[in-house]
Amino acid sequence: SAVISQKPSRDICQRGTSLTIQCQVDSQVTMMFWYRQQPGQSLTLIATANQGSEATYESGFVIDKFPISRPNLTFSTLTVSNMSPEDSSIYLCSVVKEGNGYTFGSGTRLTVV
Amino acid sequence: GNSVTQMEGPVTLSEEAFLTINCTYTATGYPSLFWYVQYPGEGLQLLLKATKADDKGSNKGFEATYRKETTSFHLEKGSVQVSDSAVYFCALISNDYKLSFGAGTTVTVRA
């Protein structure tokens, strides 16, 4: 299966600032997704990262708050903009590779103070 | 749309007890079904999966059978250990490759 390197693994940020999370995959993958896991909650899909075009956002998530890039088939970034304490969550990158199914990154644990 | 309903926790058991976590789903088409596990302080790991009706997924002593007639994918383990303490998520993936997760069930196994 694909191996994902997600950075940073954790961060503590001041409210009003932005954080960019990187997701690097060791091989080309068909699809890349970004999920959020709020404290004590399940995982919620934020968006599908589309290679070479704008991401596709789920209901309740917007590009201004969560801009996403995917310049090629192995790399994507998620930015959490103008952060507030409510953005404190674990953010996970996940990929689908043909024949190998779904793989998750180890996650970025974000705390906003 | 797709949805997963999972037995609410928390669940507390003694070692060697039998564990069942119920999971039912609503989906269009023919989804694949998964159980993921999240151990304390760790990331999400795939525990087992089933891709079609009547398939049984199994791993680490856990089993779940894809029941299309009851739209269920209940997780079972005959004899749990302290090391099985974790949060368990039922999930499905349909034609659009998006995973839909249940709320998660926290399981604590006491020695």
Q: What is the pLDDT of residue B95?
A: 77
Q: Which of B64 and A31 is assigned the larger pLDDT?
A: B64
Residue to substitute from B37, B55, B87, B99, interface A, most A β-carbons within 10 A: B99
DSSP assignment of A14-43: -TT--EEEEEEESS--SEEEEEEE-TT--E
Give the pLDDT band (50/70/90) at residue B92: very high
Give the pLDDT band (50/70/90) at residue B45: confident
Q: What is the pLDDT of residue A73?
A: 93
Q: What is the pLDDT of residue A100?
A: 63
Chain B CB contacts of A59 below 8 Å: none
Residue to substitute from A7, A89, A102, A103, interface B, most B β-carbons within 10 A: A102
Please judge whether A41 and B104 are an interchain contact, meaning their C-beta atoms are less than 8 angstroms apart: yes
pLDDT reading at B29 higher than 90? no
Flag whether residue B1 sits within 8 Å of chain A, measured between CB atoms. no
Those residues of chain A that have pLDDT short of 50 are: none
Give the pLDDT band (50/70/90) at residue B43: confident
Q: What is the pLDDT of residue A79?
A: 98
Flag whether residue B82 sits within 8 Å of chain A, measured between CB atoms. no
Mean pLDDT (chain B, rounded): 93
Cβ-based neighbours of A91, under 8 Å, separated by 6 or more: A21, A34, A35, A36, A37, A46, A78, A80, A107, A108, A110
Q: What is the pLDDT of residue B62?
A: 98
pLDDT reading at B106 higher than 70? yes
- The average pLDDT across B83-89 equals 96
